[in-house]
Amino acid sequence: MPRFYVGEDAVNGEYIQITGGDVNHIKNVLRMKKGEKITICNGQDKDYRCIIEEVCDQRVLARILESGHTGTELPVRLYLFQGLPKKDKMELIIQKCVELGAAGIIPMMTARSVIRLEDEKKEQKKRERWQAIAESAAKQSGRGIIPYIDRIHTFKEALERAAAMDCAIMPYENASGMRASKEAFVRIAGCRTAGILIGPEGGFEDAEVMLAAQSGIAAVTLGRRILRTETASLAVLSMIGYETMLRLEAEHGE
């Protein structure tokens, strides 16, 4: 069933009004008509099963048939602090990490970041593109929220934000001890918020790892091989997602 997102202010009694770019998609791409069913999410983990009542040039009016909790969000809100990679790798990272459950993605500049977006207009254009990718991935994967792509942070700003969360980790190629990594993932599964810091292609400098440790952010290993930045992001989110789902099943006796 096609899935769309609206703000809570678009919900009025038993009706929801869709405006903006989704109108063209519904009318001219999907060619949907009155009487067809769609799912509308308020972006706050609530779904509405609806039937289309009216399709116009400027809006689509849908009547609510039933509503309920989306049920696809992890109990821990995972925030990915991603060292800016080269070329279009960031687009892949955003798409896949949204599918894997990231609640937000914060691009960050590190000592070894090759890309330097110092022009505000260029950065804004990039962020708009990244946010559109996040929304598309959220629709495809049935997310209850649209993860927010934040502004580009300095490494210091990223450390401060991550350290303020319940838990934060930094995958690092020179770290060791898979048992310690597993314990960290299990601990994150029981948190409300957690930060994951991923370095760019060249990884983190030793000085950055030391600064992170001083902020209470532990370096963890993802195995014996050195992973590309885009692979590391997906691997750590997958591992944490797995531990979180195991915890949920144990709590509910499944």
The string of pLDDT tens digits covering residues 38-85 is 999 999 999 999 999 999 999 999 999 999 999 899 999 999 999 999
Based on its alpha-carbon atoms, the radius of gyration of the chain, rounded to whole angstroms, reads: 20
**Average pLDDT of span 213-227:** 93
- % helix, strand, coil for the chain, step of 5: 40, 25, 35
**How many beta carbons lie within 10 A of that of residue 163, not counting itself?**
14
pTM of the model: 0.90
Task: Answer whether 97's CB lies under 8 Å from 78's CB.
Answer: no
Quick one: pLDDT at residue 194? 97
**Integer angstrom CA distances of residue 24 from 2, 112, 133, 134:** 14, 42, 18, 19
Residue 126 clears pLDDT 80, i.e. is over it: yes
Residue 250 clears pLDDT 90, i.e. is over it: no
Residue 117 clears pLDDT 80, i.e. is over it: no
Pairing of strands 77-83, 218-220: unpaired
Q: Count CA atoms closer than 13 A to 49's CA, side-chain side.
A: 7
